[in-house]
Structure 1
Amino acid sequence: MDTNEGRVYFALDGDDFDPDEVTKFLGIQPTSVMRKGSKVDGKLPKINSWSVSTENVVNEHIDVFEMATEIINILKPKKNLIIQAKERFNVSPRLEVVLWFSVNEEHSTPAIGFEPETVSFLGEIGAFIDIDTYKH
């Protein structure tokens, strides 16, 4: 592909929880769920996962600041429930950034960073950030 691509998502991961129960508890419809042992793209996930994602953006300009803020704005009203869900469902919160870089040297690379409010919110709920990068 001749351009950049990316998305940001928030996930709750754990060994033994029902993603449907997390959906009911948080009152947020997930973008996707994975269940341990159920095939996803030909692979068997080793953990359960509940996630809320931005759309996949395909553009020369990818702004992680903006996409992360979009996800955090969905989650902020549920902060206390997310903290409770960590204990209740034994899950780990994660903000994931997935980027595919264009190999075209005329294109800029994605802007990777986080607003102070995003960092603060993630700290308050005990989440970590993972950034995966790939070349097209």
Structure 2
Amino acid sequence: MLTLTIARFDVDPDAVTDILGLAPTSVARRGEPRPSGRLHDCNMWHLELHADPLVDGREHANAITTLIGQLKGREHLFAELAKTVRPASVSIYGGFYVSDEQQGVWLDPDQMAILAACGIGWGLDLFEATMLS
């Protein structure tokens, strides 16, 4: 999976959509129930780029390329978001399932530059491929 998440801000998540001009795949509103029945403790906005588990570097690269394509030219909108919405976190989160074979993930310099210009962090959890079974 690979998701752009904007989290922990005080305004309605629709404001994030309005500023960025990107439609989220999901939002969470503080006080609304989660599937578990517990209440969300913060507002969040998610744009999922790859729902299935990432099992090789090619899938990660394709998802990052798709994301970068949506971010490019919106750097000034992310600066506006940082000033007006003031989220505590703007980051890409993913999970990568590794097998016994050598695999890797990477970001190219131009991709890193766009992520940095948008103020977006990047994190990737590594899981054993056997967990998919």
| Aligned with residue 116 of structure 2, among 114, 123, 135 | 123
- Unaligned stretches of 5+ in structure 1? 1-6
Aligned residues: 126
Q: Which residue of 2 aligns with 1:3?
A: none
Q: Tell me, yes or no, if the aligned pair for 1:69 and 1:115 is still in contact at 8 Å.
A: no
Q: SS of 1:96's equivalent?
A: strand
Q: Which residue of 2 aligns with 1:40?
A: 34
State the identity %. Answer: 22
The 3 A distance-change label for structure 1 pair 59 and 109 is farther
Q: Greater strand percent: which structure? A: 1
* Residues in 2 aligned to 1:110 and 1:39: alpha-carbon distance in whole angstroms: 39
- Unaligned stretches of 5+ in structure 2? none
Runs of 4 or more above 4 Å deviation: none
What letter is aligned with 2:120? A
| Aligned with residue 93 of structure 1, among 90, 94, 97 | 90
Q: Tell me, yes or no, if the aligned pair for 1:39 and 1:45 is still in contact at 8 Å.
A: yes
Shift of 1:124: 1.3
* Residues in 1 aligned to 2:127 and 2:41: alpha-carbon distance in whole angstroms: 22
Greater relative contact order: 1 or 2 (C-alpha under 8 angstroms, separation 6 or more)?
Answer: 1
* Residues in 1 aligned to 2:115 and 2:41: alpha-carbon distance in whole angstroms: 24
RMSD: 2.3
